[in-house]
Amino acid sequence: MRPSVEDILAFEIKKELADRYFGFRKMIEEDKLELDEKIKRQTTILEKRIGFELIRLYILLKDEDLIHSFMKLVGWEEKLFYDQYITESTTIRKRVFKGIKISGLTRRGRFNNLVFDTYERLIEHVDHYRQKLEELQTIHAVINEEIILFYKKNDIGSIMDFFRSMESTNENGSMWAKPHDSSAETFRQKMKIDPPPPIDKELASVPPLVPVSNIRKELKKLIDQAFKFHGDQLLTDIA
C-alpha cells in the first residue's frame, strides 16, 4: 500500500523533530567531550608542571619546618604533592633537577638562584592553571545551561503526546505504530543527558601565590637556613 499524503507529512514532521533533537543532543555531548579533554590537559599541568616545581622546592628546603614556614609565607595551607620520602630520595632528586639550569658565581649564590627561579616558575604555572580553571568553570556552566535549554525545547513527554495525536488515524491504516506510556518513559531515561561533574571534583583548587617582590627578604632567610643545613650536598647531588 502506498503511503498517504498524511503519512508522508507525518514522516517529514517526525524527521524534522528527530534531526533537531539529536542535533542539539550531539552538540551537547561534543561539548562535554571537549570539556573532558581540557580537564585532562589541566590535570597534566597540575601534576607535571606545578607538581614538579613544588617537589623541587621541597627538596631544596628539605627540612619539614622550613617547608611549613615556606607554605605559610607564600599563602598556602596545604602541602600539595608532599611526601617526606621525596626530600630524601637521591633518585627523585636527580630526576626532577635534570635539565634545570643553575646560575651563580658561588655555591650559595647558585643555591639562592635555584630556589628563586623555581618559585618564579611555580608562580607562572599556578597563574596559568588558575586562569584555565576559571575558563573551565565557565564552559561547565554553559554546558549546564545548554542541557536545561535542551529539556525545555525537547520535552520527551510533549513530543510523545504530539506523536500520539498524529497517530489518531492509526486504526484507519496509518503506517506508524502508536507509542505507549512505557516506551515513552524508557526512551526518556535512555536519552537522558547527565550534566558534567563539578570541576572542583575533577581538578584541585590551587590558591594564588604571593609575588616574590613581597616576600623576598623572608624567603631569603629560609633559603639561607636550607643552604646551611644541606645546600652544599644538594648541589653536589644534582650537578
Residue 184 above 70 pLDDT? no
pLDDT of residue 174: 46
pLDDT-based confidence at residue 119 (cuts at 50, 70, 90): very high
39-48, 70-79, 154-163: segment of lowest average pLDDT: 154-163
Residue 118 above 50 pLDDT? yes
Pick the closest to residue 228 from 82, 112, 148, 87 (CA basis).
112
- First-to-last alpha carbon distance for the chain, in angstroms, is 87
Over residues 216-233, mean pLDDT: 94
Q: What percent of the chain has pLDDT over 90?
A: 51
Task: Give me the residue label for grid cell 516506551.
Answer: 183
pLDDT-based confidence at residue 8 (cuts at 50, 70, 90): low
Q: Domain range spanning residue 216?
A: 5-169+176-238
pLDDT of residue 64: 92
Over residues 59-70, mean pLDDT: 95
Over residues 50-68, mean pLDDT: 95
Over residues 214-236, mean pLDDT: 94
Task: Return the SS3 of 211.
Answer: coil
The pTM (predicted TM-score) of the whole model is 0.79
Over residues 95-110, mean pLDDT: 90
pLDDT-based confidence at residue 69 (cuts at 50, 70, 90): very high
pLDDT of residue 152: 80
Over residues 73-87, mean pLDDT: 89
Q: How many structural domains is the chain composed of?
A: 1
C-alpha cell at 221: 632567610
Strands (E), the chain: none
Sign of CA dihedral 218, 223, 225, 226: positive
Residue 23 above 90 pLDDT? no
